[in-house]
Structures are given as C-alpha cells and as structure tokens.
Structure 1
Amino acid sequence: MTSFEKFHPVLTAHLTLDWLTQTPVKSIDDLFSKPSITTAKAEKMPSKILDTVKEINHIMRRVMNAKELTWGITDSNSEVFVGIISLRGFDEAAKHGSIEFIIDQDHSECLAEVVERTVRFAQDHFNFDQLSITFTNASSQTQKDLTGLGFEVIQANQFTISI
C-alpha cells in the first residue's frame, strides 16, 4: 500500500487538512469540550490534555502504519482550528470505508465542504466502492448536507455513498 506520509496537506476552497501534529494540542483539547457535530465513533473524546496527547500519538501511529488517514481541519483564511476528519477502512478486505469526524458546532458550515473533499480524495487515491458515515443522532441540517453530497440514508443516522 502507498505510504500515507505524502497525503498532507489537503486543501479545499476554504480549509486546510493537515496532520494533527501540525495543530497545537491545546486547540485539539479545546475542541473536545465544545458543542460539536460528531460521528458515532468520534464521540468518545479525551477529557484531560495528557489523554489528548496520547490520542494524537495513537492516531498518528495508525496514519504512519497506513491504517487510517486523519487530518486536523483549519480555516485557511483565519487559521482557526475547526475539527478533525478521518478516513478509515484500509485494514479490511472489503472495499467499504468510513468517514469519522468532529467539527466545532460554530463551524458547521464546513461540514459539507470537508466531507465532499474527503470523498473525492478517497475516489482519487483508493479502491473503496462505498463510504459510510454513522451518527448517534444526526441533525436535520447534517442530514441535508450529506444527502446534498449524494449520500443515501441507509437507516436512521447511517449514510452511505457509492464511489
């Protein structure tokens, strides 16, 4: 498999996706205490800054071992850290991946742009047939954003797109 080391930064029209190690730990830790839009697997957040550091190290080990791609999301103009997004499913034989994220509720307008870029990135670089996103409780705006990108509702709070 291709080394994931070269897959950063990734740009959108308004956002920069880069390794979590490029974001101050305090900014990442602050994100975990703010109201956010989050997928089901991303809900369990560290509650102490030392745990945040450990989690960043664990994530970056998985990235360097080609198990997942995880980027910190920063507004390219204001340089404000707005969230984290992951592309997972590389260690499975199936061609089904998943997208996990946590985005600061105050920056919810970034959701569609960053998910769209992640889907396009997966299409361009990997052999996934489908990507899924699962929530514990998706808001109506989140549902609207995802269906607007071509995701289909498979069941309550679960969305899939064929790529």
Structure 2
Amino acid sequence: MSQFEKYHPILTEHYAFDWLTKARAIDVFHLYEEMADQPITMPATATKINQTMREIFRDQKLVWGVTDRINGHFVGQAGFDPIDLANKEATISVTVTPDNAQDHVLHELYQRLVTFGLAELKLTTLTVHLEQPDHQCEQILTDLGFQLTTTRTYRYQK
C-alpha cells in the first residue's frame, strides 16, 4: 500500500484537498484546457487523471483536486510534483481556475502545502517553479519564506 493513500482529504479553513478522481471530470478538463498550449480532449483529461493517481500510489507525487468547502466548487489542483521522500524534497505545484487566482486563495493553498510538507512528510527542501513572471505568487512565496534561486524558481530550505 502506498503511504500517500491516507493523505486525503486534507483541509484548510476554506478548502478541501482530495483526490482528482473526486472532482467532476468536466471541471478538471476546463482547468487543463486553461493550462494547455494545445487543445486537450476529455479522454486525454481522464488519462491524465488516471496517470496522476497511478503516480500517487507509487509515491512519486502527491497531488489533489482542491474544492471550496462552502459551495463545493472546484478551485484547482495542488500538491507535490515530483516528490522525493528519500532526499526529503519536493516541487510544489498550484494551479487554480482564473476565478480563484486571488491572493487569499493562493496564500492559503501554498501555506497548507508548506506546512503539510514540513510537518507530515518531513520534507526539508521545497521548490516552486513559476512558468512565467507572476508578481502575485512571487510575493506570496517570499512572504512564506521562499528564496529566489534562479529566474522564477523559489526554494524553501528548512
């Protein structure tokens, strides 16, 4: 049994992190559609969700779908991708729908991932790669104690 199987749902004050398979496929499809530089299909989305779950159960990543705890709306996807428990390091990824790209949402998601990674997974190094300049995320990461290491790459060292 994967040690990651027990890590769901994970809760914050406003959000629930649960397996992507618990989210509506159409919501995940729309998120992936926003992220993709080329068209994506619903079957490709299902394949990607299944591949993600396989990698979770092989302890290669730990990724959740995120929903609003009040209204149940899909917020995005967040987690550690990849994760290397042997070296106690992981890359944090957070992708939210355009409606949820707000400071308070992103701060709460990043904060929970940092806390969970350090306390529960015993990670010592967390990395975030920003695909493009993002002053909003840069400020949030700096506020959480991350240091800029290279262009758009931030590292948190415990």
Deviation for aligned residue 1:93: 4.3
Deviations 1:106-149 (A, max 9, x none): 10121111111011111122232110000121311111111111
Q: State the TM-score, normalized to the length of structure 2.
A: 0.89
Q: Is structure 2 residue 139 aligned with structure 1 residue 144?
A: yes
Q: CA RMSD for the aligned pairs?
A: 2.1
Listed as ranges, the gaps of 5+ residues in structure 2 are none
Counterpart residue identity of residue 111, structure 1: L
| SS of corresponding position for 1:150 | coil
Deviation for aligned residue 1:71: 0.3
Structure 1 stretch displaced more, 96-105 or 52-61: 96-105
Q: Percent identity?
A: 29
CA contact 1:32–1:46 (8 Å) conserved in 2: no
Large movers: runs of 4+ above 3 Å: 43-46, 88-93
Deviation for aligned residue 1:91: 4.1
Q: Is structure 2 residue 8 aligned with structure 1 residue 8?
A: yes
Deviations 1:59-111 (A, max 9, x none): 00111111111100111112110110121344474332111121112101211
CA contact 2:84–2:90 (8 Å) conserved in 1: no
Question: Pick from 109, 117, 141: which aligns with 1:114?
Answer: 109
Alpha-carbon separation, structure 2, partners of 1:99 and 1:141: 16
| SS of corresponding position for 1:33 | helix
The correspondence of residues 121-132 of structure 1 with structure 2, limited to 5 A, is 121-132=116-127
| SS of corresponding position for 2:145 | coil
Paired residues in the alignment total: 156
Q: State the TM-score, normalized to the length of structure 1.
A: 0.86
The correspondence of residues 28-107 of structure 1 with structure 2, limited to 5 A, is 28-34=28-34, 47-91=40-84, 93-107=86-100
Listed as ranges, the gaps of 5+ residues in structure 1 are 37-42
CA contact 1:95–1:127 (8 Å) conserved in 2: yes
| SS of corresponding position for 1:127 | coil
Alpha-carbon separation, structure 2, partners of 1:160 and 1:33: 28
Higher RCO structure, 1 or 2 (CA under 8 Å, sep 6+): 1
| SS of corresponding position for 2:101 | helix
Q: Is structure 2 residue 25 aligned with structure 1 residue 25?
A: yes
Alpha-carbon separation, structure 2, partners of 1:115 and 1:23: 20
CA contact 1:46–1:52 (8 Å) conserved in 2: no
Deviations 1:13-32 (A, max 9, x none): 11100000100111100112
Counterpart residue identity of residue 55, structure 2: R
Deviations 1:33-69 (A, max 9, x none): 34x6xxxxxx678710000000000000111111111
